[in-house]
Amino acid sequence: MRQTIRSFVLRQGRVSHAQRRACETLLPQYGIPFTENPLDLDQVFGRSAPKILEIGFGMGESTALIAQKHPENDYLAIEVHTPGVGSLLNQIEALGLTNLRIIQHDAVEVLEHMLPAECLHGIHIFFPDPWPKAKHHKRRLIQPALVARLCEHLKPEGYIHAATDWEDYAVQMLQVLNNEPRLINTASDYAPRPEYRPLTKFEQRGLKLGHGVWDLIFSKK
């Protein structure tokens, strides 16, 4: 699958000393370099366990908490922005996590080249860039082609869990996911936030201000 429109822009954000040090010293241990060869995920993690993919983990707070609370699963997290990668690497080290690995690369290319068919038990996409301007909606990550690609990597009864705090993006997500014939909605429309997805500080502030958050959880037939 060729991607002509990227869903992200590599902004020149500030990278702290601790984040830079983590990328230099910890990424070789907890990172997986991009390659055009399929991964053996059981070999990567050293065991056979359910594999969950997260696309775009931001600063990684939720990612680390989920991995810590669910040691029975292995988590593969993808992010392009260096501050977030450094932040999550530091959390992996601080928490002693052995079930979390990072790929710093474009998720679409990782899906295309590195992940075998039906290798994943779940996929998390939490608060992707909403690209709020109408002229930028084509840059939004959740599009029919990507969802079709995700389904190829999901095991039967595997799930896609997306969340957003932008209502019009939630409406688009619901339409795109509903239109994928291999998926079925686990709720009538939007799902209650499951226990495993922790509230972020940003999300808590938004809820106190009356902002909405929409979770969508679809299962592969």
Under 8 Å CB-to-CB from 121, ≥6 apart: which residues? 50, 51, 52, 73, 154, 155, 158, 159
Q: For residues 56 and 73, what is the distance between their CA atoms, to the nearest angstrom? A: 19
Neighbours of 95 (CB within 10 A): 13
Asked whether 67 and 97 are in contact (CB, 8 A), the reply is: yes
Catalytic residue among 74, 106, 129, 165: 129
Q: For residues 24 and 61, what is the distance between their CA atoms, to the nearest angstrom? A: 20
Question: Catalytic: 106?
Answer: no
Q: What is the DSSP letter of 33?
A: -
Token pair in block for residue 68: 């810590």
| Catalytic residue numbers, as ranges | 129
